[in-house]
Structure 1
Amino acid sequence: MAEEAEKEITTFEDFKLNKQLLNAIEEAGYTKPTPIQLQAIPLVMAGQDILGIAQTGTGKTAAFLLPLLMKVKYAQGQHPRALIIAPTRELVMQIEEHITLLARYTDLRHTAIYGGLGPKTQIENIGKGIDILVATPKRLMELYLKGDLILKDLKTLILDEADKMMDMGFMPQIRQLLEVIPRKRQNLLFSATMPEKVVELSEEFLEFPTRVEVTPQATTVDKVSQVLYQVPNLRTKIELLEHLIQDAESLNRVIIFTRSKKNAESVSKFLEHREYGEVRAIHGNKGQNTRINSMEAFKGGDIRFLVATDVAARGIDVTMVSHVINFDVPFVYEDYVHRIGRTGRAEQEGAAITLANEAEMYHIRKIEKLIRMQIPQLPMPTTVEVFKTPFEEQQEIAKAIDHQKRQDNPDFKGAFHEKKGIPKGKPKKSKGDPKASFWQKTKKKGSKRK
């Protein structure tokens, strides 16, 4: 049936999606369905349970979101009717960003819950009424057991990256969840690999599932040269970025990728303030007309810098992009391939420059495995000032490294203790505080333009 669907369907219109979704798909830059979407979407819309073998980067998020949004349709009731579980905060946040993008012309209510911050705001968002909930397993069960979350209206359950979920020791929470949610529901399970634990979970979780399987396209563009700088902190990244863009002749049309909307705005404001050339930012909070106008101006050569998040940049097809700069390393590794593929198009040479702090180097090693090559690392230029890492940023990096060790080794007990060695009271913000705006922190000196 999956093969038959793949032969018959060639466009998103062929899935018989509603106009609201088709408009959002077009604006998001999706041009044609990927293999996993061709196989999975008709089956999910038909109400079948799915066992999907697919890595991130194959289009699997839209493969389960588009039919889910068709199924949930419009805001209704107080409690979630669809639940998506993912193993990490970063993945949960990215899935919710995809929902925001694809559900923008619907009235559907959605929110994300995860650890790493207090639950108060998350509880308030749930209390306002939601249709779709995206969650990490631990925070989900924490709020459920406290009575802040009611799951009796659940009709669809999606487990994403099940293999990573098992590696991180979340089987008890998943089993606990399966005991308390309605038995009559549609189930979707996606996993990059099928180890024994995932097979065991799929047998407990799915009813007569249809298996769909695709392999990721993880090849980098041959004509793109790649280099890497290890940079200790955000402030030094700003200094290095400013150093790199001095060469206006070489770096004449540059896409700068950030991991968050906040960083995209901050980087663009910094560049505007320094007057190194025309700059535009595109991300999920920008309206359709703003994004279209920015893209057209960039294509026309009127803009030197386009600062973008991964989701907003989907579908960018611009020739003559001289450089891609990864200001932040993507947590979704296939996004690295998508990013650097923006340069080196139409038989042109291209270059990709990545800036990574100590915690991000973990993700660089995973990316290198995916692209089957080591990214050449360059020493920090001697003319770039290296700043001391502020206290709060040190804490964030240490927590991230601790989390990475736990991901790779579920038995790791944790070397980082937040309370250890921290003086009482809130630490004072330094000028290098990552939460201060980029351009304010760099007012200390004049423009470096030559």
Structure 2
Amino acid sequence: MWAEKFKLKKLLVRSVVEAGFDTPKEIQLKTLGRITGGQDVIGIGPEGCGKTTTYVISTINRFNHDAEGVPRVLILAPDQEKIFEIVAQFDRLNQNKSLTIVTLHAGTGTEQQMDELADGADIVIATPDRARAIYLKLGLNLNKVELLVVDDAHQIVKKGLQLPVVELANSIGRAQHLVFSEVLHDKLEKMIAPFMHLPTTIEVEELPDQQVPMHPQMLYHVPNFGTKVNLLNLFMYDEELFTKTVVFANTRQTAETVYKSLQNRIHNAVAILNPTDFEYNLVKDISEFKADDSLRVLIVANENTESIDLQNIPFIIHLDLPADKAVYIEHVSNHDVNAEDETLALTFVTDLELDQVVKIEYTTGQKMQRAELPEELVIEKERKQKEAEKEAAKKPVKADPNKYEPGAAFHEKKPENSKTYNFSSGYKAKLNNKKKH
């Protein structure tokens, strides 16, 4: 199968089969031919779909027995643990013992790694920051690199390592570029745009056959946390639709911040489950919230919170995704599939949480329905953009005598005073999922 589909060396085909890979996975079927042809590729797929094996196979296939000892392949990974996984896969599939692999990471001293590079390296596997540091010390030769691989690129973005990736890529001459990630989002696209040349994007969505019974889920993709809070306020202002809602945040500090924001609009209709401060409207148990008709919103901090009975709650909102996907799945699992009143789960995520969504979908065997953001939603500006605008506002601007400036009567309304809470009947129907709560 491998020999029929791809132009792989016979020794490599034998190694792949002996390692237990009898047939190529979907991502290998869709990408290996393009990689062998020299094309830049972006491979997107869930954990375990075969991304690492794909580029390990294509990397080994590039080398003949006459390895030169000068780096021809640079593989960037987010951390030391991932580097060890990659090395293990090379050891498993590589029978060309003349190949030399050198790893660069924080687990070993810089001087020792520079000595290893000086002794000769055909493949370098590194974290972006350590590779950049050694390159600047003139210890990493990139002149003959012909393949740059960025693995777990979404994690690299999460760690804020975009700049060293771009600098290393720009320091390499003409080369092929492969990027593998669980998700593709704006921040990741911004990182790879400077060096990818007409890439093809291959995405695979492997879901298990067995599905976990879940409440209907709607996913709202927003740019930042401030917009999450605006969206929550927008929804909660509609007391006709959102009669009882439990909102999950990851920390007590976030829960208290959200509480104060909601209290400005819905006043005493919001409460926190077991807050640290008595100044908040508190609820000691979920049963209190269910029984109190004056309460519409209960905010729960995931930290130090035991299992909570969410049965008969019309709306469950995750403002943050828990670090442990099992916590989310427990919240949203449908324990009574025959219930007449069905709960709707709304999840708010930013770019950096999309990989957690993929893991949840893979575990549950179900995709979350992507929802459009309401037109009335106020998109919060990024903090850096706000700071830049503040600095620009401090600089004196010469007045244009020919330009008419409106007076105080024309001042723009503040977001909190704007009327942003009237939903169309069609949008309400979507949220209701054709069921009354």
TM-score range, shorter chain: 0.3 to 0.5
Question: Normalising to structure 1: TM-score of the pair?
Answer: 0.46
Larger Rg: 2
